[in-house]
Amino acid sequence: MLTLNEIRNLVQEELDRAEYVEYPEQLFEPVRYLIGDGGKRLRPVLALMAYNLFHDDITPAIKSAVGIEIFHNYTLLHDDVMDDAPLRRGVPTVHKKWNNNVAILSGDAAAIVSYKLIEHCEDKYLRKVITFFNQMAMDICKGQQLDMEFETRNDVTVDEYIRMIYWKTSVLLAGSLRHGALIAGAPEEIYNALYDFGGCLGLAFQLQDDYLDVYGNEKSFGKQIGGDITINKKTFMLIKALENANDEQRAELQNWITTKHFDRNEKVQAVTELYNAIGVREMALAEIANYIVQCKEILRNIPIEEEKKSVFYEMITTLEGRNH
């Protein structure tokens, strides 16, 4: 088995070759820019981890795995336009550095590049590869659609929220694992189990992000605490708080949500205190723990040698380690 770092280096080498660049080069320049600024390459690494369960040599799967990374970057290009985000990984987003049209069109080109890359597999797997990829891509669109709809809704339930983040972020992690296992020739039972594992892991990860935005350590979290609170983002924390608040707490929370002029620190502190009083912290930790238990359960039941699973258990450990 290769280490995560060995896999990541192989992915990076393939990305650095940028074989997808054709004439006119300007069409692909924003994709190179976005991909060049780093990122953990989590999705292709997951795909190749899954492939590596069945083959020592992962070379035949690298192009296909890189297709998933490029697909991920396509969604970032378009999402950043839709969210009008100024920065991504600390540098100006493509639509800020160039303009919206460049981000839209280069995003479209990146999506096609990813479709061209993921089909690097044996013929016998091709139909499933395409079907799964389409489903995954569509789920991500649906997640983004719900995310946008939720912005103007005040009655989003936890179930709806979980579905949204599942589609928007978990499905691509799940699909990466499934993709790698599928093109490695894994039996259906195993690639489906890996899909479920990735879905749970993604949910745990996203819920932890919601949690850390309130209770995290600024240094290890890497972002300013309270960002979601400041913009009234309907995360698990806020939805649960509104659901479980008493009348007085709800009125106070609504007041913070609707107030246009406020002191950031004061708002973050006040809302955090409300979360504490309502018990949202414990609810979030229980929910995350619940998904982690599910992850471990799924992993335990996958019929492959235990020692091969260690790298997947490691991912859970890393996730648990973020909690502080």
* Sole binder of a second copy in the list 101, 154, 157, 217 (CB under 8 A): 101
What amino acid occupies position 260? K
Q: Return d(Cα 143, Cα 170) in angstroms, integer.
A: 10
Residue 141 binds a second copy (CB under 8 A): yes
Q: Which is nearer to a second copy, 24 or 321 (CB)?
A: 24
The helix (H) or strand (E) run that includes residue 247 is: helix 247-258
Query: Among residue numbers 9 through 68, which ones bind a second copy (CB under 8 A)?
Result: 22-24, 26-27
CA distance 215 to 139: 30
Query: Using the rule CB under 8 A, which residue among 91, 105, 270, 277 binds a second copy?
Result: 105
Our finding on whether 225 is near a second copy (CB under 8 A) is no
Kindly give, in sequence order, each residue whose CB lies less than 8 Å from that of residue 138, ignoring residues fewer than 6 positions away. Answer: none
Question: Which CB, 130 or 285, lies closer to a second copy?
Answer: 130
Q: How far is the CB of 48 from a second copy (least distance, A)?
A: 22
CA distances from 46 to 180, 193, 208, 217 (A): 8, 14, 19, 27
**Would you say the C-alpha torsion 112, 114, 116, 118 has a positive or negative sign?**
negative
Count of residues that bind a second copy according to CB under 8 A: 35
Candidates 9, 59, 134, 254: give the one binding a second copy (CB under 8 A): 134
Q: State the Cα–Cα distance between residues 179 and 130, nearest whole angstrom.
A: 10
Contact between 157 and a second copy (CB under 8 A)? no
Residue 130 binding a second copy, by CB under 8 A: yes
125 belongs to the binding site for a second copy (CB under 8 A) = no
Task: Please tell me whether residue 229 binds a second copy under the rule CB under 8 A.
Answer: no
User: Is 256 near a second copy (CB under 8 A)?
Assistant: no
Rg (CA), the chain: 21
Least Å distance, CB 99 to a second copy, is 10
Q: 14: closest CA among 69, 88, 56?
A: 69
* By CB under 8 A, residue 234 contacts a second copy: no
Distance CA 105, CA 168 (A): 21
- The distance of closest approach from Cβ of residue 249 to a second copy in the complex, given in angstroms and rounded to an integer, is 31
| 78 counts as binding a second copy under rule CB under 8 A | yes
Q: Binding to a second copy by residue 137, rule CB under 8 A?
A: yes
Tokens of 196: 């479920």
Nearer to a second copy, 82 or 87 (CB): 82
Question: CA 232, CA 126: separation in Å to the nearest integer?
Answer: 44
Q: Does 109 bind a second copy (CB under 8 A)?
A: yes
DSSP 8-state secondary structure symbol assigned to residue 302: S
Kindly provide the residue ranges of all beta strands, DSSP E only, lying in 53-98, ordered along the sequence. 87-88, 91-92
Interacting residue ranges for a second copy, rule: CB under 8 A: 22-24, 26-27, 78, 81-82, 100-101, 104-105, 108-109, 111-113, 115-116, 119, 123, 126-127, 130-131, 134, 137-138, 141-142, 144-146, 148-149
